[in-house]
Amino acid sequence: MNGPASDRRSSPSGANRSPAQRDSVNEGDHGPAESGRWRTLTSVLARHAAQLRSRRALLTDLGKALLLTLLATLAAAPLAAVWGISHAQVEDYLGPHRVNFASNFGGEVKVDLGPIGNAYLASPTRPMGLTITVGGVGTASANLGSLFSEQTLAAYTSLYTEPKEAISGIVERLAHDAVWEGLKAEAVLLLGVAIWRLRRQVLPPWIVSRVTTRRALAIYVTVVAAVVGSILVPQKPQDPRYPVSIADGGRFSSLTVDSLLLADVLDRGVEGVKLLSARQQRAVKNYVDTAAVSLSEQLDALPKPNSDESMILGFSDLHCNQAMTELISRLARATAPSLVLSSGDDTVNGTAAERGCIRREAAISNGVPFLVATGNHDSNITEAQMRAAGVTVLDGQEVETAGLSVLGDDDPEHNIPFSVDRTKDRPETEEQMAQRLVDLAGNKHTDVLLVHQPAAARVIMDASNPPASLVLWGHYHAQSGPRVIMHEDGSWTVGMQEGTAGGVREPTFTSFSTPFSPPLISADVYFYFRDKATGLITSVQPVHFLPNAKVVIDDRIATGDLAKLPLETRMRLGGASATPSVEPSR
């Protein structure tokens, strides 16, 4: 047959055709749909390859940017550190005086006493130095007497007795401020590097042509060399220096002054501090030794929980008393309470220089949880030092510890250091704070409510069915209680106004307590016995350290009879069966 059909039938597929023709026929055999899919797949693969190249480029650019930022940060670090150290300053107290502390690279400690003159000590961290500007000194004639009165010397005793601890607290604050100032300087320097990198976009061409990389590096090296050189080269004092004779051979052997009047005053002042410090340390040692003997004679009477009880150690108003901190530590080791609670006023003035007493007090717990609701003599500085020492500072949130839930908050007001005047920390009264805690505790079970002042405790104790098994407070330096509030369900709340654990008496002109004096009134601590099954406080046992170093361990004071607790209440509280009533320990 003739025609195309005949040709297709008579010729085998692909026969007598060139390779190009065969490929063309093969492509045509796929059809339009197959060809379209092939082109789509190719374009997808191409786009994916482009994206991969774009991502690699992005990662490369990001890596370069991070590397440049790291190098810039390292390059700026020396200058930022110098700026931070030379511009750090804090306000605090040394003794009874408001003081400004400013770090520098003077290589010495300078104490600026205003019109009286300046005192100088070799810095232990040369080339870094410190300028201490003492405020409130006034004229020389009007304040020399008050500057070295017995009260003032007593306040300075801690600086002489343990200067490392007193100064370390201030140095910590200075270090934090130096870091902050250094970070600000680092940010400014990095901004400068960023502007330099973008100089072609943000600066006129005539400036860009002059700000080359080589010149920038030369400027950087010159500035760093000049700064480091000015720090390392010692500066010779320009003003006259007079040695203080009492300093010879002592811890102030390098002490000099620029005023003959100040030299004479410090001779007498340092001598007074030395004599007072020695006298107080002897008194503290004698008191601790005598009280320890009295305590050891009553080992059988020491507070001890029964097998179905846990025991809490509580105190208030320790006020940094060194003797009582040591004795309470020994008592805690001998009795092994499961929890230690402080109702505040742990310091005298809440200054950074009181770090030493905070560290000693933190050791009272001997590893068990230690919680505190700070008082009006404490401060934010005190709270930071407590947290650093491992003490839990209550801040209005419930804390679960040692199998108990504890709620409390710091006092809304605090005393201005070395003053009877108070200032508000927040716009809240004692009563408002207490009501806030009552509302929070009422939403769930709370074992302990901890506050400092009686005004706050009164609101809690007067609430209908107070929402805690135990409520503790202090402030008045006088024991009151225990007070038991019965609930409608037959359970109860125990409230206790704790006396002063430091034996601190209200000061008079001729008699006042210091951290380095033995207790002037009864120093009191308390043990609270808690039934494990119900969580109720069944008894309280006070321990008193008298001014004559005699220790009085009271009998247990029963606060509730578990045998009379209704079964329904017992079941709700977790006690499946009656718990025997507590028998007195003596």
User: What's the pTM?
Assistant: 0.76
CB burial class (10 A; 0-12, 13-18, 19+) of residue 64? exposed
Q: Does domain 305-561 have CATH number 3.60.21.10?
A: yes
Sign of CA dihedral 6, 11, 13, 18: negative
Farthest-apart Cα atoms in the chain, separation: 143
Q: Where are the beta strands (DSSP E) in 74-228?
A: 89-94, 97-104, 108-112, 118-122, 129-134
To the nearest 5 percent, what fractions of the chain are helix, strand and coil? 45, 20, 35
Residue tagged 């786009």 (tokens)? 47
Alpha carbon distance 449, 460 (integer Å): 9
Is the pLDDT assigned to residue 297 strictly greater than 70?
Answer: yes
pLDDT in tens, 18-43: 544 444 444 445 555 555 556 676 77
Give the per-residue pLDDT at 239: 76
pLDDT in tens, 239-272: 788 887 665 556 666 788 888 878 877 777 777 7
Is the pLDDT assigned to residue 474 strictly greater than 90?
Answer: yes
13-17, 312-316, 353-357, range with the lowest pLDDT: 13-17
Alpha carbon distance 438, 409 (integer Å): 12
Give the per-residue pLDDT at 192: 85
Backbone angles phi, psi at 118, to 5 degrees: -120, 145
Which residue intervals of the chain bear CATH 3.60.21.10?
Answer: 305-561
> What is the pLDDT averaged over residues 458-486?
95
pLDDT in tens, 175-220: 999 999 999 999 998 888 888 778 778 778 887 787 778 888 888 8
Alpha carbon distance 401, 450 (integer Å): 14
Residues 6 or more apart whose CB falls under 8 angstroms from that of 525 comprise 313, 314, 315, 328, 331, 501, 542, 543
Is the pLDDT assigned to residue 157 strictly greater than 70?
Answer: no
Give the per-residue pLDDT at 156: 62
Alpha carbon distance 347, 382 (integer Å): 8
In whole angstroms, how far apart are CA 230 and each of 74, 104, 108? Answer: 21, 12, 15
